[in-house]
Amino acid sequence: MNRPLKLIRSLIKEMEGLKFDGSNRPELPHLTMQYETWYTKALRVVQNGIPERLEDFVSTYKSNRTGLPSPSSYTIQDYLMGIKVMPSTDCNSDLLFQRLILRQAAILSSALKERPISEETSEGMLQREFYKQALVQAKKLFKTGKIVPAGVVAGTVLDNYLQWLCKRRNLELIQKQQSLTAMNDVLYRFKSYTHPTFIRIQRAIPVAEACLSPRKEPPSKKEIGILIADVRKIVYARY
């Protein structure tokens, strides 16, 4: 494996160390030092490897927003500075931080995805490992009673996965629309996956969107359990 691939694999593994749940939240100064070190190295990879995603990567870390953050405008920098969103039952600062670093890791891993990916390539193994670890986290959250956070992780994986497929097929307009339904429809027309996978994604989208939007009524435990199982089948259908 060449040096850039080794570096990205190492950064993805380091990102796993930044995850936590309510029972093992690290001290903020320690987490800040960990993250800032990671971000500096990862930023360099994005700048050199996928400059077209640089704005997305940086905006997840910081923004030019004025005033207090909402869930949709919250950034990693807000979290590290101790700025919180208004607390709610299913959307809090810890959860938003987890979503944001997961998004950054997905952007970083896309630096490996410009070439065709197969089961045998190191890129393919890294792609599969990234989704596998995220879905393991979702299952763990679900089993420990953190139902909506588990749905957020699964929904984020589905969103990142569809964006990645759009990127590989140069469907930039669809990707920028950030609509799961639009991406699913176009990807199916481009024969990116089979009809059963299309139907499974179609079924998962309303639950994923409800988990990802703090303004929507949270889905039931049963619905989120089905979402996690569906997303795993959707992602692994490609490998």
> Residues 177-198: pLDDT tens digits?
568 998 899 888 877 788 889 9
Beta strands in the chain (DSSP E): none
Q: Is the pLDDT of residue 118 over 60?
A: no
Is residue 36 within 8 A of residue 28, CB to CB? The reply is: no
How far is C-alpha 212 from the chain's CA centre?
11
Is residue 172 within 8 A of residue 115, CB to CB? The reply is: no
pTM here is 0.56
User: Which residues, 6 or more positions from 232, have their beta carbon under 8 angstroms from its beta carbon?
Assistant: 135
**Chain position carrying tokens 């669809």:** 174
**What pLDDT shows up at residue 31?**
87
**Chain position carrying tokens 């410009």:** 114
- What is the Cβ-side half-sphere exposure of residue 212, based on CA atoms within 13 angstroms? 21
> How many angstroms separate the CA atoms of 192 and 186, rounded?
9
Neighbours of 118 (CB within 10 A): 10
Lowest mean pLDDT among 24-38, 83-97, 206-220: 83-97
Q: What is the pLDDT of residues 160-183, one digit of tens each?
A: 888 878 877 766 654 455 689 988
